Structures are given as structure tokens and as C-alpha cells.
Structure 1
Amino acid sequence: MTETPGFSTRAIHAGQEPDPRTGAVNVPIYASSTFAQDGVGGLREGFEYARTGNPTRRALETAIAALEGGTHGRAFSSGMAATDAALRSMLRPGDHLVIPNDAYGGTFRLIDKVLTHWGITYSVAPVDDPHAIAEAITPETKVVWIESPTNPLLNVADIAAVAEVAHNAGAKLVVDNTFATPYYQQPLALGADVVLHSTTKYLGGHSDVVGGALVTDDPELDAAFGFLQNGAGGVPSPFDVFLTLRGLKTLSVRMDRHTANAAAIVELLQGHESISEVRWPGYAGMVSIRLSGGREAALDMCKKLELFTLAESLGGVESLVELPAAMTHASTAGSLLEVPDDLVRLSVGIEDVEDLLEDLRRSLR
């Protein structure tokens, strides 16, 4: 094909050509820890050891990079492994980074509890205010790290404006694109230097695999990510990669359904007497609400829901509910990133929407 294929076509075909020997239309699970060499240093297709590279993993890395419009992709054993590799590749003792004032709790924990012990400092700023981000930058800032939408308050950044702010200061911009997915947003095209995913979430899509990914157009950054991917060893298994590839193929149709269901739920919840605030960026399946009755009302809602399973994580085909302040974001307690204790986060699945609406109505009675 001479023209760039459409999104769904890339999700199904990029890096996933039929096996030339058997004709298998799905990429095989190459469950081999090592690869025969044609003489010393004579690598077949560049493979020598599974931590360094694996054909199944290469297919996933190619596919995710194609969906993000990037040239280089790296797959990791989790979103946090990808986060760790990115930060350790881009920062050195004495460096500074800017993060959202409502970042994911795991990202905050890594930065606040681990990287600061290595002499790295950070400031926080709202992602929807490029001026505030500019004010948070110091002469030592090397990275501006944002989520858009953020987790769990669902604030949205003007990525192009933030990229300009970061680049004017000589810093790199990393965008966690987990919530929006490349179906709705491709940050590299807006000026970002690196895109991060927890592939555990929407890209895998079925709550059966854990993984992460980094995508960039910068060959030097990609080489640094690859060095840590191999040197630190945070790589996914071939089976985990296979599951993620399986999920990737249906990303577009799932995201359409997540969005349609979320829109109906937002319509139900807005103006409901039990709800003081509804937050939704207008796409994808993440909806955050605050309860008029405070924390006890939030706990009661979580307890009464039936189709919405009380569980951490998000982005799967099934609907989930959680109380971030006591679950995914407990690490932010007492910090500038502390989450309101009356905030309930919904990951809206792809079930029949009327069933989900009735479950919510019942929980709010």
C-alpha cells in the first residue's frame, strides 16, 4: 500500500504479517529463551536471547509504534517498568522534572519515594495550565511528564502548548497516553518526545495481561530505552505480548463502545441529587464523580454496585469501580497530589448500557 493505512487496519496488520513458513495469520508465541546463531555473531533476524529481543515482542512494538505514528516502540513487563525505564534514561542526579498535580499514584510513588533518593527533584503543576507548567520549570528541568487525561481527575492538557513550553526550556515532554489511547490522541504529532502506555489497560483491553510501552521518533532516546529494557530486564513474556496483540486488534471498536456507554452514564449522573460533580473528557470510558454525601456515600456506592466490580485497574471490557484515595492513589495521601476522599472512579466497560445504568441507579437510591 502506498498510502498510510487507517487506524484499525494498522491495529490488525502492522508488524503482524502472516507467518512466511506456515501462513499463520496470528503472530506465533515464540516461547524460546535463546536463538541459534549461524556462526559466532551470526544472528538470524537479529535475535540472540529473549530478554534482548523476541519475534512476538517485536511485532507488538511495531504495531504500537504504528498506531502512535512513531518510528520506535519498546514493550515492557508493566506500565511502571516502562515509566521507570523512561525516567532513568532521561534523568541524572541533580536533574529536575515537572509532573501533574493529579498524577497516577504509582508514578508519584516512584518519583517521590525512589528517584528523589538519587538526587532528582520534582515540582507539580496542573496539566491544563501551560503557564503554570512554565513557572514550575527550573534551569535543571530535563523532563516535563504529563498525563492527558489525568488519573483520576481527568484533566486534559493542550499537548502542543505544553510541548512548546518544555522545548523552550530545553526539556523533553513525555505524555502518558493510557487513558486516551492512540485511537483518540497521538501525542507525538502534537510535539511530544515520548509516549507511554500501560498496555494493561485499553490496549490489552481484557484484564488478563500486564504490560507497558514507550514510543518515540528519537533514535537516541529509543536506544537508551532499549539499553535499559535489556540491561534491567523488565520485558514482557511472549504469551503476555500475544495477549496484548490480540487486544490491540479490536481497540477501535472497543473504544467506540466504551465512549458510547460512558456518554449515557454521564447523562444519567449529571444533575443527580447524590452527585456533586461529574468529570469526563468527552471520550473513552473513564468517568470520575464526587458524592454529595462525602466519603461515606462514596463507600456506600462502591459497596452497592454489582455489575461495576470493585477493583483496581481500568480499560477492560468489564466495568470497574474504585475509590482512588484508598486504593490506586493511596500513596498520594498528605501530598500535593492527594485525591479527594469522596471521589469515585468508574471504568465503563462494554456491557449493555441499560444494565449499567440500572446498576448505577440502584447504587444511588
Structure 2
Amino acid sequence: MLDIKVTLSQNLKQKPADESALGFGRIFTDHMFLMDYEQGVGWNNARIVPYADFALDPAAMVLHYGQAIFEGTKCYRRADGGLQLFRPQANLARMTRSAERMGMPALDEETALEGLKQLVRIEEAWVPHLDGTSLYIRPTMISMDVGLGVHASKKYLFYIILSPVGAYYKEGLKPVSIYVEDAYVRAVRGGVGFTKCAGNYAASILAGDVAEKKGFSQVLWLDGVEQKYVEEVGSMNMMFAYGNKIVTPKLNGSILPGITRDSVLTLARSMGYEAEEERLDINEIFADAKSGKLTEAFGTGTAAVISPVGTLAMKDEKITIGDGGIGKVAQSLYDTLTGIQYGRLEDKFGWIIKL
């Protein structure tokens, strides 16, 4: 593990006065963690410095060839004022998997985790207090070589920035409406769909904008070959409940293996639910919703945690899931998972790191 140098800001920002109006990803703290990589040298120069702009050459390879990956995790404030992280090691391990697929160097996960902890301790006062709020943590890696030509960079920058956030969806824990995208595709098996690379999200923006104009919160992506099998929503993995049975699309290389997805499956089984991973035909989902067989649908992700889905729309057809409200399965999983994250409930899985 590298030594981490710390340079504190002499010009601290004013912290938000109204935590109920934080929004998501709009405000950033006073400091950031940086670490450099150079081929033949490895990871070096780990440091915490004041939050500031980067200087990028116009020919920096990240701007042209898209070697950019990121993660998202959170720090939570307990009722006693203490802070805790939720499964950051899993996020950093997934970042290494993303890096390997993108031709980038494996992350020094030990130094990255220590840097994350030190950075959050320095920014402790930025962690909000209101229920439902948290400090969002965004680790990122980008290629830094200067020059044109499609090949892996020899230099990379890893950094972590922090943002105090409220609920991801302005509606809060209320059912959202999802549009099933039937024209565009986001990922295919053998591609980079299982990574958190910037290009995956760039590929989703147009469809997301179209869906938003139609009054929907998110897009549900189908597989890129037959365009009939459920994959994921732009910022969430999808789950469907049939009474006490929970079903989610099976990981196939084009779906992000979500940390919250894994946590919910583990938690659900421990709570007595039957949880399975299957290939899900969107036409069968619609038919099951109409017949009443499908009782709930919800998304899982770091930002939203659990987001109930009230309606699904595809082409000119729109269906209501269950009674259109929050189902008991989604509510129980949300209450239990957030209870662990905020320290209200016992962590039986070793997920929490207390700071």
C-alpha cells in the first residue's frame, strides 16, 4: 500500500444549509483523492488534495477513445453520529474487473480503499444527517496519454470525489414509470455491458431523453440480439416478484453485476423469500402483469437502493404492476437493507465498515 500525502484546502466551501434540498450529484466536497499509474512504474503518488479542475491536453486519449470507468458507493451517518461504508471493497473489486475489460491496469484496491477512508474522515462534516441522505462516493479511472491512435494508454489517473446527496429520484420511494426500449440496444454479450464504463451510459442517454419526454423516469433495456429478454434499467438492475418469489435477469455478460443486486438477493433469501436468476421474456412479464400473477417490480442500485416500478410501457401498451403502489416485498427489502446501511439493524453479512 502506498503512503498517502494530504494537502488540506485553505478555502473551505459553505456546506448546504437545507439537507432536504440536496438533490443528487450537484454539490461536491472540499477534497479529492488522486493516484497515478504509469506503465513500468505502477500505481504511485497517492494523495488527497483540494477539489479542483483537471488540466487535460486536447489530445488526451480519454477524450478520443473512451477509456473511462467509474463506481458508486455511499457513506451513511448513523443515529449516534458515527459514519459507515457499505461494501466498498466489492465496488473496488468490480472496478478492477471493468479495468481489465477496458484494457486498463488493475486497481491498487488496498490503497484505493485506504484513500477512500481517509478522504471520508477528512470530509466527515459533509455527511448529511437527515434520514434518506448520504455521502455519495464516486471512484473514477481515466486514460491520460496524449496522442491519437487506438491503443491502450500507458498512463492513467484514478480519483475519488464525494457528493452529499438526497434521494436519487425526486419522487422518493414512490412507484416510478419505466419505458421498455424496443428500438435501441445498450449492450451485447461479449461487449462491455458488465462494466461500469462511461460508454455504456453514453449509449443510454438518447433513449433516456426520449423516455423522459414521454413522461417516464427510466428506460428498461432488452437484450441486444433478440430484443425481447429483460436486461436492466439505466441506473438499476430489475427484479420481479411473484408473491414471495423474486426473479431477476440472469447475469450473461451484458448486464452489470450490481452490488445492491447481489445484496438484495442475499438479503431476500435470508428473509425467507425465494430468489432466482432467470432469462425473462418481456412479453411474459406483460402477460403476467395483466393476469395478476406478477405482483411487484422494482429496481435495485446504489443511488436509489430500491425503486418500486408502478407501470411499464412498451410501444403503445402500458401496464400497471400489482395495484400500482409499493409492494410489501420491495418495502420490506428497502426497510431491511437501509436499516443495515444506516446502522439501525444488525449487519449479519459483514457488509459494513465503520469509520
More helix by share: 1
* Structure in which a larger fraction of residues adopt strand: 2
- Give the TM bin, normalised by the shorter chain: under 0.3
TM-score normalised by structure 1 residue count: 0.24
